[in-house]
Chains A and B, each alone.
Chain A
Amino acid sequence: MGQKCSQFTEEELQDYQDLTYFTKKEVLQVHNKFKILAPEKVGHNRNAKLPMNKVLQYPELRVNPFGDRICKIFSSSHDGDCTFEDFLDMMSVFCEAAPTAVKAEHAFRIFDFDGDDMLGIADLREVIDRLIGPHRLTDSEMAHLVQNILAEADLDDDGALSFAEFEHVVDKSPDFSSVFKIHL
């Protein structure tokens, strides 16, 4: 590993270990994965900023219907371009060790397309649309589905899911934490 370590000093690794859910070794693994996305750029500058379409080459993100949202959420410049540290943050949230509360926070932001801090009807429709990919639900089916979701989770009956309501749902859904993860 000696060769690969050279891009980071021990303190930096310690920093990363303290600030993410990774161990030092895993941080290096993440960096390798990051490097694969754009070997020449990252080889040059280990914290290079990769454009979003490069980051979306990462296998799990490529097929993920929310890939662009994920990039945008974690990008420090908010345009989807990710530096290594952004990428590390992303992987840290998606790793197994991250607690459900943290995952829920980020999931909420991923699903909140219009950024109004509420999952409104438009957001839910967008989420469903992306989930079913090439297939299409009819309008009435979609409305039915959205209505069902709201009926289940919208506790205060204001036509949108707030974070508290979202977190409650996610807490009760046993599969969330097993689904919301990306392996290294």
Chain B
Amino acid sequence: MHIRSILAPSTDPLDNLAVMADKVFELSPPHHQVQALSAPDITGDRLSRLETHIAQLTASVAALQTSRQPRGRSDSHNFRASGPLVTDAATTDATSGDTHATDRIGAEWSPGSEMSGGERKKRAARGTGWEEAGGEFYQESYPGAELDLEALPRDPHYFATLLPSKQTRAATTRKPSKVDNKATYRRRTSTRQRNTNTMGQHTMPNDTHVAMMPDLSENLANEETTWEEMMLIKAMPVTMAQKKEIKAKLLSADTFRMQGMRRLKWRRRKLWEYLKVRWKELHKKLELWRGSFQNIEGRFGPAVTSFFVFIKWLMLLNLSTAILIVCFVVLPAILIDERDEECLPSNTTTTSIPCCSQLYSTNSSFTMPSIFEVLEGTGWLERTHLFYGAYPYNVLQDEFVFYDLPVAYMATFMVVFGLCFCAILKGGSSGFKERLIEAEGQYYKFCSLVFSGWDFCIHSDKGASSKHKALFMEMKEWIDEERREDDKKNRTRDEFCRMLLVRISVNTLAKLIFVAASSLLYFIIQLSQSELQNDISEEYRLLMEYTPSLCIVTLNIVVPNILHYLVSLEGYSPIITIRLTLVRNLVSRFSVILVLLSSIYSQVNCGLGPDDACVSRSCRSPLCWETYAAQQIYKLILLETITQIAITFLINFPRMLMAKHVRCKLARFLGLQEFDIPKHLVDIVYLQFLIWLGSFFMPLLPAIGTLLIFFMFYLKKFSCLVNSLPSATTVYRVSKSRSMYLLVLLSAFLSVIALMGFTAMSIQPSKSCGPFRGLSTSWSLVEITYGNFPAWFRNIVAVITSSSVAFPSLIILLLLFYYYYILTRENRQMVLVLKKQLVLEGHDKQFLLNRLSAFIKQHQERHKAARSIDPPPANSA
């Protein structure tokens, strides 16, 4: 009361009031002690009146602390890491009369009847030493401790809300949180540590007594910390008005001005933040397809959007590839004059490289560009820098520049493929981590389904209803799956055998289909080649040229549908079905391409020595087989694109119209289509596969690919937004889909690398075209170039790759691997132990709470009994 009178005239903000209160308390411990000592003289009747009064007050305080609103309220006051305890006391003081003072008295006196003498003595000594009193404070200041036994209901759940862990949650959420999670945790622990450091055992921020602790040192912030704290306000779960209040308080508080280097640093940091915000704004404005993403996300959810983000990512990958290739290969080849070596007539052999080149360049005379040539990539188009054949093989050199194009060609592609590989790995690494978590059984399947089930960005009714349905199906599916797991154990032998039989036969059938498709293609290629040897009309020729590609495209349409039907027979769970379909589709597409490539290979590689002729005559292989191969892929890509367009606009679009306007069940059944991510994913990845495959022999293919994928984005967007409905059977998950895309892409990439490696290392480049003419293989260029490197460099490489270095490093790697393996095993063990411990602690807590409530009940009954013997004089305070 004394302190209150001292403080009354001052009009300072609460912070300062509290500080003052602290000081006053510090100055006047004897008074406090006297109060404590003189108290036992109070008569029993006053005591009981005080008791009821206190009980009421504490009940109201407890109610304030537990209800939601006061959490918000105290949020605003407890915000400053250094000042929470101080301010809180002040506010309690201000809001609820003299709770502050009475609380303490109550803490000392209400249990008076049960208190032992020793305890009382200890309490009396409290005023003198803060250090000793710490523990006492802690116990007494709990709202659930003895002081308010009477006011509390007997429900143990109610006590649970008073537990310190609950209180600190309120404290931690109001003391959040830098932008990333790690920082949040660090901060949380640090604030907790600070509390314990300064207050001994006190971990309760709501503890009013802590106000008396001398805690001035951290109250004075410098500009930087103020600013930092201001940035943290936004993370607080309080209303805007309160946030504003806190900000105003922060700004008005005294701060140290920073000087010198620190100031400079802070300035720089501030500027940096500002620039980041600016950049974010700019980026948002310029971001490609942002509106499309939002539109799709609003109707189909983020998982489908992630597919479109993947398409964009692929486009950007192709774009950067194309830029690299254009800069280092195409532009130099165009800009720098080619020094053509003449095919000297005196030269007796006509199979020297210049002669072969001349043969090739004069072979196809320049004609007017026709549509056929564009479609086939022959004629004048073959002469352009689109194809491998047009690139010079000699070192480009004039007065100013020296450019070894073959080396640059090789190096650029090695860099490009390396970059693609890194990009895929980097994109996929996060997904890989999630997969690992999942594999360790720490993935919260049901929780994620429920807590991250709804896509908050969905804004269309259709999207919402299909999301409801999809979630419903998913839940049912998982419950069924659990049951099926049980069934699996007691599945009868008959059923098991039948299932096994079905799966084996379906698998065999699928493999048979692959073989059949491949052989069909093989025969068609043979046919078309034999036809092309004959003299035929232009149109027929075009048809024959395109027959293999047509066959491939048809197979790509037909086979997936058969597979789709087959997989439904097998009775796998949806996720396995998706994976299986994906793998089978990829295998079928790759195998078909493999057949095409091997037929080209057999045409090219007829096993003739280098000096025999420009080309081997026996199998009539083309003069420039690299260009020929590139043309095949070029045709394939063109046809693939055209088919995609045709399917989208000529088949799926009418289907959608039919489903929408014809009120017949069959029409609806045929017409309704869901956006099936795996199917579209295979389309896109296949396209990318072809682009990579062709790029070495068609350097401008990535540039064309960029355009195609750009175009594909709109095509897929059309088929998504217009043609399809959101999938109501499968819940696609963002994280899983992302890793799925990159895994599929990686498999495509690795097969391309394998094919390219084989080509570069074992097939002789054609003599009459391209930068590698005259070499035994294109890879030998790398070896030659390496041979030209300075000797010291080669020595170093030789030492590094020698067994004396490689073997020990292998051993070290193995040891490291083993170490981490052990570490994870131990950690896993630890996790299990800790989990068990946690459960035990939880049980302990429950047990103690129950005991506590029982104890209170007992206590209250005893009190009642005492009162009934000795009726209280006045019931109200």
Q: Enumerate chain A interface residues (CB-CB to B < 8 A).
A: 15, 18-21, 23, 25, 59-60, 62-66, 76, 78, 85-86, 88-89, 92, 94, 97-102, 105-107, 109, 111, 115-118, 124, 127-128, 131-135, 137, 141, 144-145, 148-149, 152-153, 155-158, 162-164, 166, 169-176, 178-183
CB-contact partner of B297 in A111, A163, A183, under 8 A: A183
For the residues of B in contact with A, the DSSP-based class is helix
For A102, list chain B residues within 8 Å (CB): 176-177, 235, 237
Across the interface, do B239 and A89 meet the contact criterion of CB distance under 8 Å? yes
Supposing A149-B446, A164-B165 touch, asked if A179 and B841 sit within 8 A by C-beta, the answer is no
Interface size on B, residues (CB 8 A): 79
Across the interface, do A180 and B452 meet the contact criterion of CB distance under 8 Å? yes
CB-contact partner of B169 in A94, A111, A132, A163, under 8 A: A163
B842 within 8 A of A: yes
Q: Give the complex CA separation of A97 and B461 in angstroms.
A: 27
Q: Give the complex CA separation of A128 and B161 in angstroms.
A: 25
Across the interface, do A166 and B451 meet the contact criterion of CB distance under 8 Å? yes
Q: Give the complex CA separation of A149 and B239 in angstroms.
A: 32
Supposing A63-B460, A155-B838 touch, asked if A78 and B69 sit within 8 A by C-beta, the answer is yes
Across the interface, do A60 and B835 meet the contact criterion of CB distance under 8 Å? no
**Which residue on A lies nearest to B157, using beta carbons?**
A116
| 3 nearest CB pairs, A to B | A156-B842, A133-B468, A85-B240
Across the interface, do B842 and A137 meet the contact criterion of CB distance under 8 Å? no
Most buried by B among A98, A124, A144, A156: A156
Q: Give the complex CA separation of A128 and B476 in angstroms.
A: 12
Across the interface, do B173 and A131 meet the contact criterion of CB distance under 8 Å? no
Produce 1/0 per residue, B613-643, CB < 8 A to A: 0000000000000000000000000000000
Supposing A102-B235, A178-B734 touch, asked if A169 and B444 sit within 8 A by C-beta, the answer is yes
Across the interface, do B68 and A99 meet the contact criterion of CB distance under 8 Å? no
Most buried by A among B178, B298, B446: B446
Q: Give the complex CA separation of A171 and B448 in angstroms.
A: 10
For B102, list chain A residues within 8 Å (CB): none
CB-contact partner of A19 in B161, B234, B456, B835, under 8 A: B234
Tell me, rounded to whole Å, the shortest Cβ–Cβ distance linking A41 to chain B: 18
Tell me, rounded to whole Å, the shortest Cβ–Cβ distance linking A123 to chain B: 11
Across the interface, do A180 and B241 meet the contact criterion of CB distance under 8 Å? no
Produce 1/0 per residue, B447-466, CB < 8 A to A: 11011111111111101110
Supposing A164-B165, A179-B302 touch, asked if A137 and B838 sit within 8 A by C-beta, the answer is no
Q: Give the complex CA separation of A118 and B843 in angstroms.
A: 17
For A59, list chain B residues within 8 Å (CB): 298, 459-460
**Which residue on B lies nearest to A140, using beta carbons?**
B479
Supposing A115-B68, A175-B733 touch, asked if A100 and B277 sit within 8 A by C-beta, the answer is no
**Which residue on A lies nearest to B469, using beta carbons?**
A135
For B472, list chain A residues within 8 Å (CB): 132-133, 135, 137
For the residues of A in contact with B, the DSSP-based class is helix
Q: Give the complex CA separation of A179 and B445 in angstroms.
A: 15
Across the interface, do A63 and B302 meet the contact criterion of CB distance under 8 Å? no
**Which residue on B lies nearest to A21, using beta carbons?**
B234
For B68, list chain A residues within 8 Å (CB): 78, 115
Most buried by B among A88, A102, A182: A102
**Which residue on A lies nearest to B458, using beta carbons?**
A63
Tell me, rounded to whole Å, the shortest Cβ–Cβ distance linking A133 to chain B: 3
Supposing A102-B177, A164-B165 touch, asked if A148 and B446 sit within 8 A by C-beta, the answer is yes
For B447, list chain A residues within 8 Å (CB): 149, 152-153, 169, 173
Across the interface, do A18 and B230 meet the contact criterion of CB distance under 8 Å? yes
Across the interface, do A158 and B452 meet the contact criterion of CB distance under 8 Å? no
For B475, list chain A residues within 8 Å (CB): 128, 132, 137, 141, 145
B233 within 8 A of A: yes
B231 within 8 A of A: yes
Produce 1/0 per residue, B244-265, CB < 8 A to A: 1001000000000000000000
Tell me, rounded to whole Å, the shortest Cβ–Cβ distance linking A152 to chain B: 5
Across the interface, do A175 and B734 meet the contact criterion of CB distance under 8 Å? yes
For B157, list chain A residues within 8 Å (CB): 116
Across the interface, do A174 and B444 meet the contact criterion of CB distance under 8 Å? no
CB-contact partner of B234 in A18, A132, A175, under 8 A: A18
Q: Give the complex CA separation of A145 and B451 in angstroms.
A: 13
Q: Give the complex CA separation of A20 and B482 in angstroms.
A: 44
Tell me, rounded to whole Å, the shortest Cβ–Cβ distance linking A33 to chain B: 12
Most buried by A among B68, B230, B241, B247: B68
Supposing A18-B233, A105-B237 touch, asked if A131 and B444 sit within 8 A by C-beta, the answer is no
B31 within 8 A of A: no
For A86, list chain B residues within 8 Å (CB): 239-240
Q: Give the complex CA separation of A62 and B177 in angstroms.
A: 31
25 contacts across the A-B interface (CB closer than 8 A): A19-B243, A21-B234, A59-B460, A60-B298, A63-B463, A64-B464, A78-B69, A98-B235, A99-B178, A100-B181, A101-B184, A102-B177, A131-B450, A132-B475, A152-B445, A153-B447, A156-B839, A157-B842, A157-B843, A158-B842, A162-B169, A166-B451, A169-B448, A175-B452, A183-B298
For B450, list chain A residues within 8 Å (CB): 124, 127-128, 131, 145, 149
**Chain B contacts with A in 261-295, Cβ cutoff 8 A:** 277, 280-281, 294
Across the interface, do A76 and B452 meet the contact criterion of CB distance under 8 Å? no
Across the interface, do B458 and A60 meet the contact criterion of CB distance under 8 Å? yes
Tell me, rounded to whole Å, the shortest Cβ–Cβ distance linking A15 to chain B: 6
